[in-house]
Amino acid sequence: MVFSLDLGLRTSALTFDSLYLDEAYQSMYESTGQGLAKLGVLDGKAILFRFDEPHSIGDVLKHFREVDPLCPPLYGILLNRWRLVFGSSDFALRSFSLVCSALANAALMAITFALFGPETALFAGLLQALSPFDRTYGQEVRMYSLELLLSLASTTALLWLLRAKETWKRATASALYAVSACGLINTHYVAIFTVAAQALYGLVLCIKRKDWHLLGWLCLSGVLTLVLWLPCFELFRKAAGARNEGFYVQNTAPVISRVINLWRMAFNWVSFLTGTRIPAYFATIFGAAGIMVALGVKQLVAGLRERNQPPERSMLNWYLVSWLVVPPVLIWILDIVECRQVLNVSRYLIATAPAVYIVCALGLKSLVRNRKVCSALLLVYAASCLAVDVHHQLVPQRRPWKLVAQKLEEMLHANELVVVSEWYEIASLDRYLQHPLRQIGLSAEMGKTYIQSQIEQHANAQSFVLVSAGEGHAIKTMLPPEYKQGAQIRLSHDVIVTEYKHR
């Protein structure tokens, strides 16, 4: 039932939003394997930009870093193979993430059932299925749902290794852990902190137990992970060297502000249950999520303090603590040292989200005896999540490129020029155009002289239409003075379509 709910919520309105820039441009390049098109130097001729059919994996590895130097290769490779089978429609592309999300939900319930019993498993699966955060990233053509799945897979393999006694089971668990941990790192590099937490936990457990035989197996799994990762290590080294270009996580705040920023760890725990694009009138979802997180943490702390519990249960409680706390604390320390705010971006820590679902499920289980309170809390949370889900199916959450394409094809005169700013948004726009248009891609950073010369050269001294969004609006102060603003259409998410006519 829970699995069906998860699948249903992620399938509904799967293609309602247009593919946004990271999906329509970055993920498509990463998974296609073609060289980077020069969309910023188009010559004003009628074009309709389309990506090639998926190339070979060799081409994917050759070209995928041309868009974002920080991305690992696994998601692009798997999406490349997926597209060969299912095509490149919006539905097909997003279905890959949907499948990963659904499998992650099944894996979450299975591992929770094995470790904590059926009631906790039911609650954990329900929380993930309902979570607007998980739904968002279970539909995007990005790597996050795959990361979530591999985080659960590596956890399952590690705990199996720690509990197994037979040699064949330990050997199998070590191999499975190496594959899943290597895959996790190669899905999103921030997930390396989750692997570090797993390694630290295993080391401490072996030392506490004085189980040197198990420590040997853990070392073997670590060596296998490194061996599998070795072919991709050079890519990681280059990404680590290029991370200073990651302007979107720089932090110029004083050191003291970065130090106290650790509170974001708890904020992210709530975000995994709520998402971040939540209208203020759905504030009840934050209240319900906050209560569930508090209940879960309280139950976890109580479990750690209990002295008469079985060693197996104590081991699981400490693993949850490690999963929850170690990755964000390591990231927080790095943020302080390197003046960053990676901890502020909840999706970067999605590999730790399953721990939040399990901990909150433990908190809900502790309320089972008080059925009225438990039912009321779940009802408020579920109703809020479903209301948010309906809202997201009625109000676009991303730039409406389908609508932009439709408006352009309705309003353009014959042979009229379209100027797209930022230039790379051409990939998002052209995905939904039906016919070729005369286009040039420009950005303010190209400079006023170049921008004016390009428009004057290709607009045929009549008129042109500017499609701008976000930072692309800066180009408006650099347009040729002989053109005046005409009709304008303002669309959601700061997309503006403006006609300019020669004076």
Residue type, 469: A
CB 39 within 8 A of CB 212: no
Sheet holding 495-502, edge to edge: 46-47, 437-441, 417-421, 463-469, 495-502, 483-491
DSSP string, 425-470: GHHHHHTT-SS-EEEEE--GGG-HHHHHHHHHHHSTTTEEEEEEEG
Q: Which residues, at least 6 apart from 283, have a Cβ–Cβ distance to it below 8 Å? A: none
* Residue 46 domain-assigned (yes or no): no
| Per-residue CA distances from 305 to 314, 326, 355, 359, 495 (Å) | 9, 19, 19, 16, 54
Whether 467 and 421 have beta carbons less than 8 Å apart is answered as yes
Which residue in the block uniquely carries the two structure tokens 């045929």? 460
- Final residue of a structural domain among 325, 360, 394: 394
Domain count, the chain: 2
Asked if the structure places residue 6 within a domain, the reply is no
Does 128 share its domain with 89? yes
Same domain, 383 and 424: no
| Four-residue CA torsion sign, 385, 387, 393, 395 | negative
Q: Is 390 in the same domain as 418?
A: no
Q: Which pLDDT score is estimated for 248?
A: 61
CB 322 within 8 A of CB 300: no
3-class SS of residue 483? strand
Residue 87 lies in a domain: yes
Sorted by sequence, the CB contacts under 8 Å of residue 318 that are 6+ apart come out as: 201, 205, 304
Residue finishing a domain among 345, 377, 394: 394
Cα end-to-end distance, the chain, whole Å = 64
Which whole-number Å values give the CA distances from 67 to 37, 245, 293, 345, in the listed order?
Answer: 10, 12, 38, 20
Sign of the Cα pseudo-torsion (342, 347, 349, 355, in order): positive
- Name the packing angle between helices 371-394 and 284-305 (round to 10°): 140
Displacement of CA 311 from its chain's centroid (Å) = 36
Residue 226 host element (H or E) = helix 212-242
For residue 109, give the nearest of 173, 159, 156, 144 by alpha carbon.
156
Instruction: In whole angstroms, give the CA distance from residue 246 to residue 470.
Output: 18
Same domain, 122 and 224: yes
Residue 38 included in any domain: no
Buried b (16+ CB within 10 A) or exposed e, 67-106: bbebbbbbbbbbbbebbeeeebebeebbbbbbbbbbbbbb
Answer yes or no: is 229 within a domain: yes
Q: Is 120:362 a contact under the CB 8 Å cutoff?
A: yes
Same domain as 363, residue 439: no
Q: What is the largest CA-CA distance in the chain?
A: 85
Do 413 and 280 belong to one domain? Answer: no
Question: Is the domain of 377 the same as that of 453?
Answer: no
- Which of 39, 35, 9 is CA-nearest to residue 21? 39
CB neighbours of 248 closer than 8 A, spacing ≥ 6? none
Same domain, residue pair 367 and 459: no
Q: What is the pLDDT of residue 428?
A: 95
- Same domain for 498 and 351? no
- Give the tokens for residue 478: 């650099």
| Beta-strand relationship, 463-469 and 495-502 | antiparallel
Residues 176 and 275 in one domain: yes
* pLDDT tens by residue, the chain, 503 residues: 777 888 888 898 899 999 999 999 999 999 999 988 888 878 888 889 999 999 999 999 988 888 887 889 999 999 999 999 999 999 999 999 999 999 999 999 999 999 999 999 999 999 999 999 999 999 999 999 999 999 999 999 999 999 888 999 999 999 999 999 999 999 999 999 999 999 999 999 999 889 899 999 999 999 999 999 998 888 888 888 777 655 567 777 777 888 888 999 999 999 999 987 777 667 889 999 999 999 999 999 988 888 777 777 888 899 999 999 999 999 999 989 888 888 999 999 999 999 999 999 999 998 888 888 888 999 999 999 999 888 888 888 999 999 999 999 988 887 889 999 999 999 999 999 999 999 999 999 999 999 999 888 888 778 899 999 999 999 999 999 989 998 899 998 999 999 999 87
Query: Residue 246's pLDDT is what?
Result: 56
Q: What is the DSSP letter of 174?
A: H
Range(s) of the domain holding residue 439: 401-502
Alpha helices in 53-143 (DSSP H): 57-63, 74-86, 90-116, 118-130, 132-137
